[in-house]
Amino acid sequence: MTDLVVLLDVDNTLLDNDLVRTGLEQELSGVLGRGQASRFWEIYEQVRAETDLVNFPETMERFGQECPDTGCLSRVSATLYAFPFDRYVFPESLSAIRHVASFATPVILSDGDQLFQRYKIRAAGLEEAVGGNVLVYVHKEQSTGDICKRFPATHYAIVDDKTWIHAAMKAAMGEQITTVMVCQGQYAHDPAHHSFPEADLTIEGIGGLLALGPEWLNASRA
């Protein structure tokens, strides 16, 4: 049992996922041509709408079934797995993780599929940065029991760019968790996502974590 576990989201918290998406769109257009590439992203959105999950393996599976060119799927796969995710880590993410590690246990808490999302976290250098403490769930806000079992602690903090994640984690864990909203990426500034109660703390970017010590992250206990 540790005193404090800090749960760190990946997409648009530690990694600039909006830019990753733009970069992947450009690369897939180059590899597939515009028509096939736009069909790939249509399927990607379809899978996301159906399963509430970004799922590249399932997207590739469905895309492969309708793709007439037999080499096409291996080119998509090669492109996705060769993508330089480490270049899209926000400049202050690694120092923020080191800062957290000086007084707490940093744990990555991400949503996604178990194959590609985990690969992406590893390829970005983030798995190594948190000493291998990586959790990936379909719905992290519904997985608090498992999170607490795997990383038992007196208190938790969560750093995430989505307001509804903070609200759901707070509802599930109450005073045992401090929520930290990081205002980065497409969701952070979308008014449609601001109907939820405010997080305990708000930072403009992941670098804002450097100014927060254990007393801040434990603030909601007071």
Binding site for Mg ion (CB under 5 A): 9, 11-12, 161
Question: Cβ 60 to Mg ion, closest distance in Å?
Answer: 22
Question: Cβ 13 to Mg ion, closest distance in Å?
Answer: 5
Alpha-carbon gap, residue 23 to 79, rounded angstroms: 11
Question: Cβ 87 to Mg ion, closest distance in Å?
Answer: 18
Question: Cβ 62 to Mg ion, closest distance in Å?
Answer: 24
Q: Which residue's beta carbon is nearest to the bound Mg ion?
A: 11
Between residues 63 and 156, which has the closer beta carbon with respect to Mg ion? 156
Question: Cβ 89 to Mg ion, closest distance in Å?
Answer: 14
Between residues 110 and 144, which has the closer beta carbon with respect to Mg ion? 110
Between residues 9 and 141, which has the closer beta carbon with respect to Mg ion? 9
